[in-house]
Structure 1
């Protein structure tokens, strides 16, 4: 993906206006949870029918059969800082969770304000995680600001050893310490750590791109990120999608295809998207262009998402879905044969209208590949097929009554 600036697919105000004319396709949204306390993420172990919802304040709750269980699966509220963009920010289940019970969290520590990644183990037969099982993987010193903490963590499909960790630049404007370009800092980066051991700490994967290079931390997988908020692996291909929140002009998505050896520099603080950052920006050799970017007339804070690989929904299969937190808009696109985004669609009306969801904080993918939209206001919506012939049978009923029927039917499924 190391192309020229001309290869970047840009979304302008005119393109945004043209979204309204896109042909409708077979998507709908159903509320599966409401009343949560600032949910930030949703995930699940592969094959698990439940959904695990991360709340900013430090709780992980289980949604099962349309009901949020009363007892939290994991309670870290006593150790999590919650000011600004701090909080419990990430959750990843070990690929072998079904047999080893291991899971990982990323949070801002209330005692130190550091980013902390820990491993916990669910005891066999237990319904909740004992916090005494904590093993510290890494603690990353943070800047004294409360923003740009990122926090996503995940395993690439087919790789049970290496945990990817997204870190923001530490906060404030223009990355004042130049952390994102500083190869001796772990901030503003994508990290890759081998966590296959049984104790605390981690090992360096021998195939990390900067291993053995003087002045470069070997944990680094990629650099030049501002606040990579909600990234994902395509569960079918292993491609890595990195959504990076912009500062004042551009929101961007970066794409690393499966098999990419890593080592990309995505440009921050030199660049925001494909343009120089005013006052501090410029260029440097080898910067990697975003595969996609949009301007502030479309949205102001990108929330990265997923390529849909769940139960077949006409018009959704294989498309990348993402949102914007400030604009509360949901979009999707496909990748063309040339590897560039094509067929941009706005999905807001089809999926979110009438649900009450506000502030798209995350998209989520459960263990069966179904997609969810998580609102900071406590509402979670799942993508489902539009009703099709059901609409004829329900003609004449109020839209609100119909949607309630769908919610009940989904919750009982």
Structure 2
């Protein structure tokens, strides 16, 4: 059988057609406004608080209907371009050891720093800046973009911290860093951080242990900017939203028992097609995304900058249960799809109006989960929205976003979907 032309392969990949937005069983409620460029919301499993990461270096803590400062790193964080405080992850044993991890770009060295902190006993609502421990420092080129920022622990693997690293920036990955096995940029990393004194060990089952060509910290290669990824909180499957360049956006998937070692193609490929900018090199043996979409101007476009999300396993919402939610930060649209055991989308739906309509959220920067698995959406406009079951009543009007009075909590995070 004659192989498909690359363009036909790309068209086949988007054959899961976008359904018209249906009458919705879900709705979005505005939780917080007035934040300073928020990039992430998260929480330890089972915790009833919400932690909001701001690009400017602050981590805010929302308790009930109050918001306070959990940690302030603003004096250490570079802010230009896509630099900033970019990620946060809680140790799976956070309730016992109080440990958490952050990813930021240092304002002096412009290096990526992954650090560990602990809470400040006996105050569980404030972190101790003096507890800082260096896990890893990664050199960056001078470009201000593609710094990654995703941090997470896979369910059932409490020792290993996962780190999403962008290619370091500029167009077409100068230096081909994402394909260079001796460079940690453009990669997914997996580090054993279970020690008590900082630093890391190499997990023995990392895919490149013993390789002369690829550093043992690396789990996967060929990523452009995996700014947001996630693990399915029930199955442990991995979903990666990798931001494209001029042509396509992609979502990658690994099953829970995947041994790693994938090469997702950048800079040789963009989504399922060869990089149209003619960078040269062979793309044989590289791993296709489970879904990709073209940029604006194409009839199947969803936008120009994918934001990876989560499979929903929070309090039951019939239209959301078990579906993967993601978005686009240029079009400010949100979507979900059901999928088969290989992560292939089956049914794609738009949920923008139901989830974000009237909220004032713009420049969609992230999705997040609270301790019970509720799904949140974050916009750099300073707004955080939570997904709730539709109450069958008129949507609450969006709060006033223009008073400039700083962060405000509009619904209690203890029960954000309550009456």
In the superposition, the TM-score normalised over structure 1's length comes to 0.91
User: Could you tell me which of 303, 308, 315 is aligned with 1:304?
Assistant: 308
Q: Is the 8 A contact 2:30 2:411 kept in 1?
A: no
Higher RCO (C-alpha under 8 Å, 6+ residues apart): 2
* SS of equivalent residue, structure 2 residue 130: helix
2:258 counterpart residue number: 260
Moved over 4 A (4+): 4-9, 399-404, 407-413
RMSD: 2.1
C-alpha change, 1:265 and 1:412, in structure 2 (3 Å) is closer
User: Could you tell me which of 320, 326, 329 is aligned with 1:322?
Assistant: 326
Q: Is the 8 A contact 1:33 1:67 kept in 2?
A: no
* SS of equivalent residue, structure 2 residue 126: coil
1:110 counterpart residue number: 107
Decide which structure has greater helix share: 1
1:11-410 equivalences under 5 Å are 11=14, 15-16=17-18, 19-20=19-20, 22-69=21-68, 72-126=69-123, 127-277=125-275, 278-281=277-280, 283-297=282-296, 298-336=302-340, 339-388=343-392, 391=393, 400=396, 408=411
Please report how far the alpha carbon of residue 36 of structure 1 lies from its aligned counterpart in structure 2 after TM superposition.
Answer: 0.1
Q: Is the 8 A contact 2:358 2:397 kept in 1?
A: no
* In structure 1, distance between residues paired with 2:291 and 2:260: 19
Please report how far the alpha carbon of residue 65 of structure 1 lies from its aligned counterpart in structure 2 after TM superposition.
Answer: 1.7
Q: Gapped runs of 5+ residues in structure 1? A: none
* SS of equivalent residue, structure 1 residue 180: helix
C-alpha change, 1:222 and 1:411, in structure 2 (3 Å) is closer
* In structure 2, distance between residues paired with 1:402 and 1:89: 27
Q: What are the Cα deviations for residues 138-173 of structure 1, in whole angstroms up to 9, with x where unaligned?
A: 000001000000110100001110000000000000
Q: What are the Cα deviations for residues 299-352 of structure 1, in whole angstroms up to 9, with x where unaligned?
A: 000011000000000110000000100100000001135642011000000111
Please report how far the alpha carbon of residue 283 of structure 1 lies from its aligned counterpart in structure 2 after TM superposition.
Answer: 3.5
Please report how far the alpha carbon of residue 119 of structure 1 lies from its aligned counterpart in structure 2 after TM superposition.
Answer: 0.5
* In structure 1, distance between residues paired with 2:252 and 2:268: 16
Q: Is the 8 A contact 2:166 2:224 kept in 1?
A: yes
* In structure 1, distance between residues paired with 2:416 and 2:230: 26
Q: Gapped runs of 5+ residues in structure 2? A: 297-301, 401-409
Q: What are the Cα deviations for residues 161-199 of structure 1, in whole angstroms up to 9, with x where unaligned?
A: 000000000000000110000000000000000000001
Please report how far the alpha carbon of residue 411 of structure 1 lies from its aligned counterpart in structure 2 after TM superposition.
Answer: 4.9
Alignment coverage as a number of residue pairs = 395
